[in-house]
Amino acid sequence: MSDAPDIELSPSAAKRVATIAAKQGKAAMLRLSVDGGGCAGFQYVFGLADAVGEDDITAVRDGVTLVVDSVSLDLVRGAMVDYVESLGGAAFKVENPRAASGCGCGSSFSI
């Protein structure tokens, strides 16, 4: 059995979620889910969460909660959710060790 967390939230992602949630008057909870589709087979979907469900797994950093449902977790276990800013723009990014390949935009992947 590994001591590695199921999923992690980077400090920069936590800071960005806290900022967005404060502006919208919502709880600082980011939901990550995986849907079929995208140019590589699966795509990451992000949104603010209102609550944690019974089958959700959570990770907390700096008062911000990352919420992932158990089905999506099977596809992203061991991943780190980060927030990156570059010349091309700013976005949440999933560093997923289970992804065999991804697309150029970084929002979809295959296993």
Tell me which CATH homologous superfamily contains domain 7-110.
HesB-like domain (2.60.300.12)
Domain locations along the chain: 7-110
Give the 3-state secondary structure percentages of the chain, helix then strand then coil, rounded to 5.
20, 45, 35
Residue 96: DSSP 8-state: -
Cα distance between residue 92 and residue 17, in whole Å: 10
CA angle at 1 for the pair 65 and 34, rounded to the nearest 5°: 40
Phi and psi at residue 73, to the nearest 5°: -60, -35
**Predicted TM-score of the model (pTM):** 0.84
With H, G, I as helix, E, B as strand and everything else as coil, classify residue 21. helix
Q: What is the pLDDT of residue 31?
A: 96
Q: What is the pLDDT of residue 104?
A: 56
Q: What is the pLDDT of residue 1?
A: 38
Q: What is the pLDDT of residue 2?
A: 41
